[in-house]
Structure 1
Amino acid sequence: MTIDRLLGRLLQYGLDKSLITPDDVIYCRNQLIDQLQLKEIEPVLESLEGENIMDPSVLLEPILDWANSNGLLNDNTVTERDLLDTRLMGCLTGRPSEVIRLFTDIENKDNPVEATKWFYQFSKDTHYIRQDRIKKNLSWGAATEYGELEITINLSKPEKDPKEIAAAKLLEQSNYPLCLLCKENEGYAGRLNHPARQNLRTIPVTLNGDEWKLQFSPYVYYNEHAIIFSTKHEPMKISEVTFKRLLDFVERFPHYFVGSNADLPIVGGSILTHDHYQGGYHEFPMAVAKEEEVFQISTLPGVKIGKVKWPMSVLRITGKEKANVVKAANYIHQEWKKFSDEEVEIYSHTDGTPHNTVTPIARMKDGEFQIDIVLRNNRTNEEHPMGIFHPHSEVHHIKKENIGLIEVMGLAVLPGRLIEEMNVLQEALLSNNPMEKIANDESIKKHSDWAQKIMNEYSDINNENCQEIINLELGKTFATILEHAGVFKRDDQGQQAFTTFIKSL
Structure 2
Amino acid sequence: MRMYQLIDALIDYGVTEELITVWDIDYARNRLFHLFDLKGAEYSSNHGGTVSEKVSDLLEEMIDYAVRIGMVEEDTTTDRDLFDAKVMDCLMPRPSEVIRDFYHRYESTGPEAATDFFYRLSEASHYIRMDRIAKNKKWFSETEYGRMEITINLSKPEKDPKAIAAARNEQEEETYPKCLLCKENVGYAGRLDHPARDNHRIIPMDLEGEEWFFQYSPYVYYQEHAIVLSRSHRPMKISGQGFDRLLGFIEQMPHYFIGSNADLPIVGGSILSHDHFQGGRHDFPMAQASVEEWFTWEEFPDVHLGIVQWPMSVLRLRGTDRSSLSELGEKILHVWRSYSDEDVEIRAASADGTPHNTITPIARWRDGAFELDLVLRNNRVNDEHPDGIFHPHEEVHHIKKENIGLIEVMGLAVLPGRLLHELGALATCISEDELETTALQDEHLAKHVPWVRGFLNGSNLTQEEAYRLLQDEVGKRFSLVLEHAGVFKRTTQGQEAFYRFLEAARQKGGS
Same fold (TM over 0.5): yes
Indicate the residue corresponding to 2:257 in structure 1.
257
CA distance in 2, matches of 1:379, 1:237: 18
- Separation in structure 1 between the aligned mates of residue 459 and residue 385 of structure 2, nearest angstrom: 34
Partner residue of 2:80?
81
Partner of 2:496: 496
1:120·1:224 contact (CA, 8 Å) conserved in 2? yes
Distance apart, 1:43 and its partner CA: 6.2
Task: Give structure 1 regions of 4+ aligned residues with deviation exceeding 6 angstroms.
Answer: none
Q: Residue 65 of structure 2: SS of its match in structure 1? A: helix
1:106-125 → structure 2 map (5 Å cutoff): 106-125=105-124
The match for 2:191 is 191
Shift of 1:188: 0.5
Contact 2:431–2:460 (Cα < 8 Å) also in 1: no
Percent identity for Structure 1 against Structure 2: 53
| SS of aligned partner of 2:318 | strand
Contact 2:187 2:200 in 1 (8 A): yes
2:233: which partner in 1?
A: 233
Q: Structure 1's 43 and 211: CA in aligned 2 closer, same or farther, altered over 3 A?
A: farther
* Offset at residue 423 of structure 1 (A): 1.2
Alpha-carbon distance in structure 1 between the residues aligned to 2:50 and 2:474? 42
Q: Return the alpha-carbon distance in structure 2 between the equivalents of residues 43 and 403 of structure 1.
A: 56
Deviations for 1:389-415, whole angstroms, at most 9, x for unmatched residues?
Answer: 000000001110000000000000000
Mapped contact 2:306–2:315 kept (Cα < 8 A):
yes
Q: Letter of the 2:146 partner, please give it.
A: G
Q: Does residue 67 of structure 1 match 2:66? A: yes
Shift of 1:439: 1.5
How far, CA to CA, are the matches of 1:65 and 1:359 in structure 2? 44
Taking the TM superposition and a 5 Å limit, the aligned residue runs for 1:346-365 are 346-351=346-351, 352-365=353-366
Question: Aligned letter for 1:196?
Answer: A
| Structure 1 equivalent of residue 435 of structure 2 | 434
SS in 1 for 2:373: strand
Take 1:63 and 1:275, find their aligned partners in 2: how far apart are those partners? 38
SS at structure 1 position matched to 2:454: helix
Tell me the equivalent position of 1:397: 398
**8 Å Cα contact 1:12-1:48 kept in structure 2:** no
Q: Is the contact made by 2:149 and 2:285 (CA closer than 8 Å) also made in structure 1?
A: yes
CA contact (8 A) 2:427 2:464 kept: no
CA contact (8 A) 2:430 2:463 kept: no
- Equivalent-residue separation in structure 1 for 2:78 and 2:130 (angstroms): 17
Residue 145 of structure 2 corresponds to which residue in structure 1? 146
The CA deviation string for residues 314-355 of structure 1, in whole angstroms up to 9 with x for no partner, is 000011111111111101111111111111111111111111
| Residues 388-427 of structure 1: pairs in structure 2 closer than 5 A | 388-427=389-428
Deviations 1:164-187 (A, max 9, x none): 111222222311000000000000
Is 1:8 the counterpart of 2:26? The answer is no
Query: What is the deviation of 1:459?
Result: 3.1
Alignment of 1:12-411 (within 5 A): 12-39=12-39, 40-42=41-43, 44=45, 46-47=48-49, 51=52, 53=54, 56-173=55-172, 174-351=174-351, 352-411=353-412
Task: Please tell me whether the aligned partners of residues 208 and 248 of structure 1 are also in contact (alpha carbons under 8 angstroms).
Answer: yes
Question: 1:336 is matched by which residue type in structure 2?
Answer: W
Q: Distance in 1 between matches of 2:53 and 2:363?
A: 38
Give the Cα separation in 2 of the matches to 1:33 and 1:84. 14
Contact 1:149 1:285 in 2 (8 A): yes
Aligned partner letter, 1:269? G
Q: In 2, Cα distance between the equivalents of 1:172 and 1:32?
A: 31
**Residue aligned with 1:349, SS:** coil
- Secondary structure at 1:10's aligned position in 2? helix
**In the TM superposition, what is the alpha-carbon distance from 1:46 to its structure 2 partner?**
2.3
1:196, distance to aligned residue in structure 2 (A): 0.5
- CA deviation vs aligned residue, 1:206-231 (integer Å, no higher than 9, x gap): 11100000000000011110000001
CA distance in 2, matches of 1:464, 1:129: 32
Q: What is the alpha-carbon distance in structure 1 between the residues aligned to residue 370 and residue 161 of structure 2?
A: 49
What's the secondary structure of 1:496's corresponding residue?
helix
Q: Deviations over 1:7-59 (max 9, x none)?
A: 1101111111111111111111111111111113436462379x584xx2121
Deviates more, 1:229-238 or 1:72-81: 72-81
Distance of 1:464 and 1:81 partners within structure 2: 37
Following superposition, the deviation at residue 289 of structure 1 comes to 0.3
Aligned Cα root-mean-square deviation (Å):
1.3
Aligned residues of 2:187 and 2:198 also touching (Cα < 8 A)? yes
Q: In structure 2, what is the Cα distance between the partners aligned to 1:315 and 1:464?
A: 40
SS in 2 for 1:465: helix
The answer for unaligned runs of 5 or more in structure 2 is 507-511
Is contact 1:435-1:452 (8 Å) kept?
no
Match of 2:509 in 1: none
Q: Which range is displaced more, 366-375 or 210-219?
A: 366-375
Consecutive unaligned residues in structure 1, runs of 5 or more: none
Q: Deviations over 1:39-90 (max 9, x none)?
A: 13436462379x584xx21210111111112221111111111111100101
| Conservation of the 8 A alpha-carbon contact between 2:146 and 2:285 | yes
| 1:462 shift after superposition | 2.3
CA contact (8 A) 1:321 1:369 kept: yes
